[in-house]
Every structure is written in structure tokens, then in C-alpha cells.
Amino acid sequence: MIPASLRTLLAASVLALSCGAALAAGPASPDLGKLLATGGVSQVEGAGGGGLTPWALITGYGSRDSYGGNVHATAIRTQDHALYTYGFAMGLADRVEVSLARQSFRGDGGALDGLRIGQDIAGIKLKLAGDAVLEQDSLLPQIAVGVMAKRNTGVSGLGAVGNVKQLGAASDHGVDVYLSATKILLDRSLLLNGTLRATRANQMGLLGFGGERGNHYQPMLEASAAYLFSSSVVAGVEYRMKPRNLAVDNEKDYYDAFIAWFPSKHLSVTAAWVALGDITVLNPTRQKGFYLSLQAGF
């Protein structure tokens, strides 16, 4: 059963897709016309970018005269939790990106053993200006604006708690809006990204939106820095600032160190060490562990 907000965004995405396909004066088949790795990978909410944070890059290998798409699956495992995400995304004319992802968060050990929380995320991203790859003689980064419509699909394994509102969240659905700026400094083999996100989401929305400590949009800073070891290997670090809206969660910022390998334009593998902080006051252990993601597409 697809929730109403997701149905709307899905309809909008299908519309955007058909418009894009109709307007694109390019070939009927995808042109794989972007350089390797320049679509980024799939971040944990399904958008194109790094592992934790969305970038201004448009997913897929379709050039501005074509389109691209991919599916991804991600597994994150820390001491007491696991997060599995899977989804698909499309890039149109290297200008518009649409994505759909489902997150499944689990408690596996510790105070929250048996906990299950799900979330569906529909995303849309629009490139506004710049080109991260080609504009090497300009300081202008590639800039994109994006929206993530999120709906928490419920809680189980926590006694009588069935909805995140029972944990203190003001709402079980919400929208993040972000602005990303990505710059590839080829003469230094460096990729830099800064994202500013307006959000009320607790733990990305897994613990709902807003809470007793705050229920208004706050700007969160996210940053990535990566080194291009070769045309097919990129490694870097990421940081993601988080709000603290819930009384039941002293929510912490996320960090990771990642390495991404692109054996071809049809596959990428990303591995990372992640630090997610302590999750809810019920478990003081600062969650640290591993991240593995696969993306397949064109």
C-alpha cells in the first residue's frame, strides 16, 4: 500500500519522466554519455550523491541529451542496529533527478532489540547552475535544489508503540528541502560538496518529524570531501549535521569515511565506516559500524 503523499510524488515523477523523454531530442536508448563516476553513488535516502548526503550531481550516465537510471541496495550495520535501504532513481537530461527509496531500520541487540521502523522517501532534484566536471576554469560549483518527501511507515517490536508520534514526534511524515553545491577540482583530483538542508526529521525521519524540543525547520550543514584516486576509485569523508527535536533522543551528527569503486558505468560498490552517534536515550552506545552499497544501472 503506497501512502497518499508518495502516490502524488510518484505520479509527478512519472509525469516528469514522460515529459523528459518526450522533450529529449536525443536517442531512444540511454547514451551513457557522462564520464565514469560523475553521477555519484546512491546516498542513504535514495538521492544521487555520496553515502550520507545528496550532491548536486544528477544520478545516472545520461548526458544532457538523454537519460539514465539505476537501482541500489545499501546495508549499514552498527553494534545494535541495522539500516537497509533500497530504491531506484532516474536522471533526465542531466538536469532532473527523481528517486524512490525504502528504509528499514532495526534494533538487533541492546535495549531496542527487535525494533523495526520503516520509512519511504520520494525525492526530486533539479540542477540549477554550473557543471562540476567541465567548468574547471571557474569557481562556480554545480548547484542543485532538492526535495525529499518522507513518510514513516510505522514502528513494531517496541511494545504498544506503533507510531513514531508515540515516541514524541510531532508528525510521522515530513519534507526536507536542500541546496547542494558540488565542485570537482580536477587539477587537485578533489571533489568537494556542501549541502544545506532544511529539515524537521529525527534520525532522517526514522523517528518522525519534530518533537518536544523543537518542531520547526532548521538548517543543517552536510559536507563531503573526496580524492579521485583514479577514474574509477574515489575515497573521502562526509559529515552530516542533525537536529535534536526529541526528548527521547540526544541525536548526534553522522560521520563516515568511504571508498567507492566504479568498475563500469553499470555498477558501483561503496564501502564505508560510519559513526551515527547514540540512538535514543535507551541505548547510550555510540553506534559505529560498516556501510556497504551497490548501485546498478546506466
Partner 1 sequence: MPAFRFLIAILLAAASLQVHAADDSLYNELGGSAGIRRVVADLVPALQADARINATFDGVDMERLAAKLEEQFCEVSGGPCKYSGKDMTTIHEDLKVSRAQFNALVEDLQAAMRRNDVPSRTQNRLLARLAPMHREVVTK
Q: Which residues contact partner 1 (rule: CB under 8 A)?
A: 26, 31-36, 63-66, 94, 133-137, 185-187, 189, 228-231
Nearer to partner 1 (CB atom), residue 67 or residue 254: 67
Q: How many CB atoms lie within 10 A of CB 29?
A: 9
Structure letter (DSSP) for residue 131: -
Query: Shortest approach of partner 1 to residue 246 CB, angstroms?
Result: 44
Nearer to partner 1 (CB atom), residue 138 or residue 215: 138
Nearer to partner 1 (CB atom), residue 235 or residue 294: 235
Provide the b/e sequence for 248-282 (b: ≥16 CB within 10 Å).
Answer: bbebbebbbebbbbbeebeebebebebbbbbbbee
Query: Shortest approach of partner 1 to residue 138 CB, angstroms?
Result: 8
Query: Shortest approach of partner 1 to residue 184 CB, angstroms?
Result: 9
CA dist., res. 114 & res. 10, Å (int): 31
Query: Shortest approach of partner 1 to residue 211 CB, angstroms?
Result: 45
CA dist., res. 73 & res. 183, Å (int): 26
Instruction: With beta carbons less than 8 A apart as the criterion, state whether 260 and 237 touch.
Output: no
Query: Shortest approach of partner 1 to residue 53 CB, angstroms?
Result: 23
Q: For residue 242, what is its C-alpha cell?
A: 542533525
Nearer to partner 1 (CB atom), residue 136 or residue 163: 136
Nearer to partner 1 (CB atom), residue 240 or residue 265: 265
Nearer to partner 1 (CB atom), residue 18 or residue 189: 189
Instruction: Calculate the dihedral angle through the C-alpha atoms of 119, 293, 238, 114, rounding to the nearest 10 degrees.
Output: 40
Contacts of 85 (CB under 8 A, 6+ apart): 44, 45, 46, 72, 73, 74, 76, 101, 102, 103, 104
Query: Shortest approach of partner 1 to residue 123 CB, angstroms?
Result: 24
